[in-house]
Amino acid sequence: MAGNGVASIGECMLELSGQAGPNWRMGFAGDTFNTLWALHALSGDRPATYVSAFGDDPFSRDQIGFFAQNGIGIGASPIISGARPGLYAITLSGAERSFTYWRGDAAARQLASDPAALAKSLEDQALVYFSGITLAILDDAARKTLLAAVAKARAAGSLVAFDPNYRPRLWRRREEAQTAILDALAVTDIALPTFPDEQMLYGDVAPQATAERLGKLVGEVVVKNGEEPALIAASGTLQPVPAVHVAAPVDTTGAGDSFNGAYLAARLAGHAPTEAVLRAHRVAAAVVQVRGALAPLETLREAFED
């Protein structure tokens, strides 16, 4: 029997953003953490756990402290002596962003190094969430360990959500990504792909093709497509849901991740998929109007309830 908590698995990095001359603002972000940030903000009193691996350096301690200050735990995630978090910097061209990464030896790559600890972190969770980036930072053996732990949690009653989130630079070969993502979809209840990613990875010609392909593998699919309508595939039907237009976005970082968090929070609260997408669109629209990946909690809540 699953519990009441929500758990997200992956890598949270140091984020450099808001460059002003030689100065940058440092925060903490990463795709699955961004989703958990929104999910936790919008899920009331549900316990939230970020499942990863951490170093023992000052940056890692600050990161774990930041989580704790915001009501997010790390479960049984290992603390690895001598390790440290990855780092990325956001460069903006208008509102569109590009990223520079330093993450090759990040502690999070060892998140499946202790299978018992990983399984313990996923016990008694109402929802378990992970992404294609989570898969990409692991070697083959670690991926198998991760998917076995997710499958065990699912068998015990947890709802499993997955965003394929394909990033070519993280994979050795396109075929490797396709295989790993297919394995992940086999243990997934809700898939949250983004159409341009799926087009790049599988050659899908339209969001409908993505929805139909994934709808054969997963019971509930929501295809995100920026400011274009999201497409829900569930119960054998396709339902488009218009997005919210933002005339002057500030920073698109984290918009899709926040959409995922809001959608999952709405589904956990009992809202139907269409209502959940409407709420998720509003949250994503609010997120692109602030800098950095993590919008203030009240901004998320106001958009979700509006």
Length of the chain as a residue count: 306
Tokens of 51: 């499942």
Reported as half-sphere exposure (CB side, CA atoms, 13 A), residue 1 has a value of 1
Tokens of 88: 């990325």
Which one is catalytic: 31, 163, 204, 257? 257
**Cα–Cα distance measured from residue 29 to residue 13, given in angstroms and rounded to the nearest whole number:** 5
Count Cβ neighbours within 10 Å for each residue of 88-101 and write b for 16 or more, e otherwise. Answer: bbbebeebebeeee
Residue whose pair of structure tokens reads 């890598």 in the numeric block: 11
Tokens of 105: 């030896």
Q: Where do the DSSP E strands lie in 103-234?
A: 125-131, 159-163, 190-191, 220-223, 230-234
**Cα–Cα distance measured from residue 63 to residue 79, given in angstroms and rounded to the nearest whole number:** 12
Q: Is 31 a catalytic residue?
A: no
Is the separation of the CB atoms in 48 and 40 below 8 Å? Answer: yes
Residue 196, phi then psi, degrees to nearest 5: -60, -35
Query: Going by C-beta distance under 8 Å and a sequence separation of 6 or more, which residues neighbour residue 222?
Result: 190, 191, 192, 193, 230, 231, 232, 233, 263, 273, 277, 280
Query: Measured in Å, how far apart are the chain's first and last C-alpha atoms?
Result: 33
Q: Quick one: which H or E segment has residue 239? A: strand 237-241
Tokens of 300: 């998320």
Count Cβ neighbours within 10 Å for each residue of 117-134 and write b for 16 or more, e otherwise. Answer: bbbebbbbbbbbbbbbbb
User: What are the residue numbers of the active site?
Assistant: 257
